[in-house]
A = this chain, B = another copy of it.
Amino acid sequence: MSTDDAFPQPLGGNTMPRFGGPATMMRLPPTDGRLDVAFVGVPLDIGTSNRPGSRFGPRQIRAESCLLRPYNMATRAAPFESLVVGDAGDVALNTFNLAASIDIITDHYRSMLQNVGVPLSIGGDHTITYPIARALAERHGPLGMVHVDAHADVSRTMFGERITHGSWLRHAIDDGYVDPRRTVQIGLRGTGYAADDFDWMAGLGARVVPAEECWHHSLTPLMHEVRAKLGGGATYLSFDIDGLDPSVAPGTGTPEIGGLTAIQGLEIIRGLRGVSLVGADVVEVSPAYDASGNTALVAANLLFEILCVVPGVAYRTA
């Protein structure tokens, strides 16, 4: 493989068997110095309201990422040929204190952004998007948001707590970190308490795409609309694995039936090529609920696909 030495490469399957080697994301080598893109683990799951376990998401997603190879056969993206990509390890959060952890994550990202261009975060539950968005917004201004999820995550509070996995987006908007007019929610569905969840977002100018609108067809056309709405501004992609159907991603905490297919997930991400992506996450993988490891494998693939649409990625010609 002819790649400049400056670009760290994932450990290859013919150099070390896939089940061996370091359990970093894609078996990337140790890093220091500046990274264009960093994979970051955020093993927080005390912001979750039903099944826990996403604290083991980063470890399991990295483990299953051993199957990933560096080149995207479908899109011809070759991210490791033009970007310095590394695995920046995990945030040392406080697993006993949600509010404290939110502050720790915020500070961690503030600091990390000195040396990292685009953080791709591995959850953890969805609470983590609030502090990440905060740190990124401090740098880039209010973020456009592509939010793939079964749930709107705009509760005011949960059991009196302000920032949780079901309320982070409302407060990220209220606190000015996310721009609702450049926000799209895809995959919302299921049961709720009131229509407000969907209506509040729409009222602020967001585009809400319930799962029903996605059924039975490609999301590629939708992504034209999404790119237009996002415009050229700094944008974040938050991909809750429960946006996908439980048949695709059984290992998650609050599954809802009738969700997106893996194919639609790929279409969403590939449809973000050209967008000014400044960060992204894949959250809510709870490995204990999928003994096969495949939910983590789905997440690992989504993270690689996101890497393939980070600004600056090289694409090979056909």
Contact = CB atoms under 8 A, between A and B. Distances in A.
Interface stretch (A141-149, A213-221, A227-235): A213-221
Nearest to A167: B96
A18 B50 contact: yes
A82 interface: no
Interface in A247-274: 247-248, 250-251, 254-258, 262-263, 265-266
Contacts of A263: 215-216, 258
Nearest to A43: B20
Contacts of A306: none
B74 A189 contact: yes
Copies of this polypeptide in the complex: 6
A111 interface: no
A49 B18 contact: yes
Nearest to A77: B191
Contact of A254 (B20, B67, B92, B97): B67
A164 interface: yes
Nearest to A18: B50
A251 B198 CA distance: 32
A132 B194 CA distance: 34
Contacts of A160: 94, 97, 100
A246 B298 contact: yes
B17 A71 contact: no
Interface string A164-194: 1000000000000000000000001111111
Nearest to A66: B50
Given A97-B98, A160-B94, A316 B255 contact: no
A203 interface: no
Interface stretch (A113-121, A275-283, A284-292): A284-292
A236 B27 CA distance: 32
B257 A49 contact: no
Report which residue of A43, A66, A95, A248 has the largest number of chain B beta carbons within 10 angstroms of its beta carbon.
Answer: A95
A6 interface: no
A243 interface: no
Interface in A122-178: 157-161, 164
Given A20-B58, A292-B251, A304 B73 contact: no
21 contacts: A16-B90, A17-B43, A17-B55, A20-B90, A20-B93, A22-B22, A23-B23, A23-B62, A23-B63, A74-B211, A94-B159, A96-B158, A96-B159, A216-B216, A216-B218, A247-B247, A255-B297, A257-B297, A257-B301, A258-B262, A289-B294
Shortest 6 CB-CB distances between A and B: which pairs? A23-B23, A20-B90, A52-B52, A69-B191, A288-B288, A96-B161
